[in-house]
Amino acid sequence: MKKLLTSILAMIWLSPFAAAIDLHGLVAVGPFTSYASTRDSVTVTCGDRSEVRFYILAPDLIRVRASFRAPLPARDHSWAIDKTTWDVPKWNVSEQPGYLLIATDEVEVLVHRPDLLVEFRDAKTHQTIDADALPMMFDPRAADGRVAATKKLGFDEHFYGLGEKAAHLDKRRGQFSMWNSDTPAYHEGTDPIYQDVPFYIGWQAGQAFGIFFDNSYRTNFDFAGESPDHVVFEADGGEMNYYFFWGPAMKKILARYADLTGHMPMPPKWALGNQQSRWTYYPDTVAEDVVARYRAEDLPLDVLYLDIDYMNGYRVFTWDPHGFPDPTAFTDKLRKEGVKVVVIVDPGVKYEPPEPGAKDAATNPELAPQDKSYYVFNEGVKNNYFLKRKDGKLWIGAVWPGKAVYTDYTLDGAARWWGDLHRAYLDHGVAGIWNDMNEPSDFLDQTGKTQMDVVTYDGGANSLYAENRNVFALNEARATYEGLTRLRPNERPYIITRAGYAGIQRYSTMWTGDNTATWDAMALSIPMFESLGLSGEPFVGADAGGFIGRTNAELLTRWYEIAFLTPFCRNHAQRDAYDHEPWRFGTYYEDIIRKYLKLRYRFMPYLYTVLEEAHRTGMPIFRPLLLNYQADANTLNIDDEFMVGSDLLVAPILEPGSATRRVYLPEGTWINYWNGAQIAGGRMVRTEAPLDTVPLYVRGGSIIPMGPEMPYVDARPEDPLTFQIYPDAQGKAEVTLYEDDGISPAYRDGAFRRTAITYQSHAIDVSSPTGTYQPGARNMVFVVHNPPPVREASLDGHVIALRKGTGVLSVGIADDSRAHQIQIR
């Protein structure tokens, strides 16, 4: 055994690892001595007493968990995991010459002897998918030290995912760390930033696998940036604990990942509406003026944000008595305009011991002066809800209110309390919550180094900060989500967060923090959204116009040509930034922005259908071309284009002064949305893109459901509901439209409507809808693009009116919730 360790160590010393991930000082687990199996797992015991356990969760999902020089601990808990009980699939274990073989119908796991190299193979072809280059490693000097796994790099292997990274789409040759960090004005290469999702997808020869390294300590990933041929993932502490997903379809991996870490619940439909923010709209009348101007300018708007100044002295769960003296009247006024109010909530609670004899108001304490006594601080102290250091003293940081304390959201009581505190907003008609600064940000120390002795209850483990920083925001979001659910059970919570960890999608949507008003930041947002989508977070967006710095008319206009099809569409700006609401640069630019905002609302039936697909299947809304065209190696690093769902492709202009660009269109037929021209894909095309035109293509074979223009979501019925039919080369197209009430959780109990529409052989078939939701009386219009030469149309055999336009024909019927066939001849 000694000889083996020495030889492995020699291997490591000789390997060309240098700075970034330094495996020196770590030792390998091993050697393989025996194994034992249960119903759903195989545990290998090593000569050094280490244990490596393989859990067979699904035919394409294997969990690997190891302990070093000791048996695996009984405690097995992760804040990221949603599904802990799996139906054990068919599998078996057998001893083979040189290795132990664990096989399901889809994956083979080879555990090589004696040195415990783990190899994953495709059960059908027996080809290697992913294999260890070195055995798992541990730090023998520390009880809770570093752990590492080292995989071989494939010659043509590419890497995707990793959550929120200020980096290009393909992570090959990149190195990344996971440590939630407040990083204003981040740019390409800033790492880490706000959120951390230690999940990646590997692609080789068109086939994909996934690895989720579920370890909330600071983790590091090296996709052969340091060594020429090794992929390493390692953590500062905690367990070697990862999940291996076999596709080969990326979509299958994302679906499994969603099952494992949780599906995004349906947000309210208005979350897809246009949103406006600024640091800061103050006082209430300014916010009202912004909304009034939106309406006067005929610009659609659903949501207005209140940044930190609505609070009384930056105290969370209070209202500023001067700027917002009557918050209920304020939200009422905006609601009459169809505008919902979202308020910012920071986790830092002002440290404010009460003055002697001071008391908190028994009712509506959020409206009281707070200057002598602050109810949130008092309640938190009294109940021991705030995080403390090992020595029992409060952890006091500094945030906007000055000295601040932080809540231990892993304490059930504290989480419930925090959730219930949102009454201070909901009672005044606030519609949603914006969780900022939850890395958590501390002006005294943004690195976390001086906070390492902060203790988190963590289910009784009383674990330290190193393990809990990355899941702080996840637990805050959980407390918030559960609080909103309790306080307003008949409405879907709407939460948006800055920091997060794997699983955050169960509770919150996200935005990419403090970007800059630069062309580079706008361009970077595309791979960022695409990567977040490949990391289980479907509802993403950035501050349109750029948060920090001075934006300009052209940049803002081009930004909206991306934002209008981004799930989260919000204009926001820093306190001292030049104003950049849509009208601020004059009518020429405003007219273009209006055109795109209105188009977003016309696309709403399509966007909502794609949103529901994200909820149900884990597929992102904002996708890299690669996800839809996985076999096409031309798409491996395309991140200056994106797709929305499967049917829309956007190739925005990402530099100033440009009015033309090249666009890669994958195999198939594509239709230029603006002029209806049909284009054969599988090649690069050049297209014109003057300032008012973003290159936008529709996939041949799709049907895009569209509604009328709206000032805000569901301001009136989607009437007429128009199905834009774009046949493929075989003359076929299809869609299944999803609808529900847009606000309540009743969709979970079948209160939705799915309407399948198919087009083939010159016939439009409307299926009889499924689900119990009734959208009400309305008309349906079917527009066939590039139609065949026809003379008449019939509905269920009876002749109906047929309208012809250039390159299109259309027919209309009443939607009576029944199946119909429309023939065109």
CB nearer to ligand MIG: pick between 78 and 280: 280
**Does residue 617 sit in helix, strand or coil?**
helix
Are 114 and 3 spatial neighbours (Cβ–Cβ below 8 Å)?
no
Question: Which residue from 211, 231, 290, 308 is in contact with ligand MIG, where contact means CB under 6 A?
Answer: 308
Which of 170, 182, 436, 613 is flagged as catalytic? 436
Q: Shortest CA distance to 320 belongs to which of 284, 288, 354, 351?
A: 284
Using CB under 6 A as the binding rule, the residues of this chain from 569 to 598 that contact ligand MIG are 572
* Residue 813 to residues 99, 120, 199, 702, 781, Cα–Cα distance (Å): 66, 55, 47, 20, 6
Are 579 and 553 spatial neighbours (Cβ–Cβ below 8 Å)?
no
Q: Are strands 175-178 and 495-497 parallel, antiparallel or unpaired?
A: unpaired
CB nearer to ligand MIG: pick between 129 and 424: 424
CB nearer to ligand MIG: pick between 306 and 703: 306
Are 435 and 379 spatial neighbours (Cβ–Cβ below 8 Å)?
no
CB 308 to ligand MIG: min, Å: 4
Question: Which residue from 99, 217, 242, 279 is in contact with ligand MIG, where contact means CB under 6 A?
Answer: 279
CA distance 596 to 586: 16
The pair of three-digit structure tokens given for residue 681, joined into one six-digit string: 């894909």
Q: Are strands 397-399 and 402-405 parallel, antiparallel or unpaired?
A: antiparallel
Residues near ligand MIG (CB under 6 A), total: 10
CB 518 to ligand MIG: min, Å: 16
Angle of the 519-533 helix axis to the 553-563 helix axis, nearest 10: 10
DSSP string covering 141-194? T-TT--EEEEEEPPTTEEEEE-SS-SS-S--TT-EEEE-----TT--TT--S-S
Is residue 498 part of the contact set for ligand MIG (CB under 6 A)? Answer: yes
Which of 239, 307, 439, 476 is flagged as catalytic? 439
CB 566 to ligand MIG: min, Å: 16
DSSP string covering 187-248? -TT--S-SEE--EEEEEETTEEEEEEE---S-EEEEESSSSSSEEEEEESSS-EEEEEEE-S
Distance of CA 821 to the CA centre of its chain: 39
CB nearer to ligand MIG: pick between 316 and 802: 316
The pair of three-digit structure tokens given for residue 328, joined into one six-digit string: 């209920």
CB nearer to ligand MIG: pick between 344 and 464: 344
Based on the residue annotation, tell me whether 436 is a catalytic residue of this protein.
Answer: yes
> Between 221 and 260, how does the x/- string for binding to ligand MIG read (CB under 6 A)?
----------------------------------------
> Between 532 and 571, how does the x/- string for binding to ligand MIG read (CB under 6 A)?
----------------------------------------
CA distance 520 to 768: 48
- Which residues are CB-neighbours of 518 under 8 A, at least 6 positions away? 546, 549, 555
CA distance 472 to 438: 7
CB nearer to ligand MIG: pick between 110 and 343: 343
Q: Phi and psi (nearest 5°) for 250?
A: -60, -40
CB 217 to ligand MIG: min, Å: 25
Which residue is closest to ligand MIG by CB? Answer: 279
CA distance 83 to 444: 38
Question: Which residue from 161, 338, 432, 513 is in contact with ligand MIG, where contact means CB under 6 A?
Answer: 513
Using CB under 6 A as the binding rule, the residues of this chain from 652 to 711 that contact ligand MIG are none
* Residue 604 to residues 395, 567, 617, 812, Cα–Cα distance (Å): 46, 11, 19, 20
CB 619 to ligand MIG: min, Å: 28
Using CB under 6 A as the binding rule, the residues of this chain from 424 to 463 that contact ligand MIG are 436-437
Based on the residue annotation, tell me whether 439 is a catalytic residue of this protein.
Answer: yes
CB 620 to ligand MIG: min, Å: 23
Q: Is 103 left (phi over 0), alpha (psi -120 to 50) or beta?
A: beta
CB 326 to ligand MIG: min, Å: 23
Distance of CA 258 to the CA centre of its chain: 11
CB nearer to ligand MIG: pick between 331 and 441: 441
Based on the residue annotation, tell me whether 130 is a catalytic residue of this protein.
Answer: no
CB nearer to ligand MIG: pick between 158 and 572: 572
CB nearer to ligand MIG: pick between 165 and 572: 572
CB 482 to ligand MIG: min, Å: 24
Residue 225 CB neighbours (<10 A): 18
CB nearer to ligand MIG: pick between 157 and 182: 182
CB 443 to ligand MIG: min, Å: 8
Which of 130, 164, 514, 590 is flagged as catalytic? 514
Angle of the 604-617 helix axis to the 587-602 helix axis, nearest 10: 60
CB 275 to ligand MIG: min, Å: 12
**C-alpha dihedral sign at 18, 21, 27, 31:** negative
CB nearer to ligand MIG: pick between 437 and 540: 437
Q: Shortest CA distance to 726 belongs to which of 668, 776, 770?
A: 668
CA distance 342 to 635: 38
CB 58 to ligand MIG: min, Å: 38
* Residue 233 to residues 54, 667, 695, Cα–Cα distance (Å): 18, 35, 39
CA distance 520 to 191: 16
CB nearer to ligand MIG: pick between 263 and 572: 572
Percentages of the chain per state (helix, strand, coil), in multiples of 5: 20, 30, 45
E strands, 236-392, in order:
240-246, 275-276, 303-306, 340-345, 349-350, 388-389
Are 551 and 545 spatial neighbours (Cβ–Cβ below 8 Å)?
yes
Question: Which residue from 28, 258, 344, 811 is in contact with ligand MIG, where contact means CB under 6 A?
Answer: 344
Which letter, b or e, does each residue of 775-808 get, where b requires 16 or more Cβ atoms within 10 Å of its Cβ? beeeebbbbbbbbeeeeebbbeeeeeebeeeeee
CB 108 to ligand MIG: min, Å: 46
Question: Which residue from 307, 366, 581, 718 is in contact with ligand MIG, where contact means CB under 6 A?
Answer: 307
CA distance 324 to 426: 15
CB nearer to ligand MIG: pick between 443 and 674: 443
Cis peptide before 280 (omega within 30 of 0): yes
CB 433 to ligand MIG: min, Å: 13
Binding site for ligand MIG (CB under 6 A): 279, 307-308, 344, 436-437, 498, 513-514, 572
The catalytic residue positions are 436, 439, 514
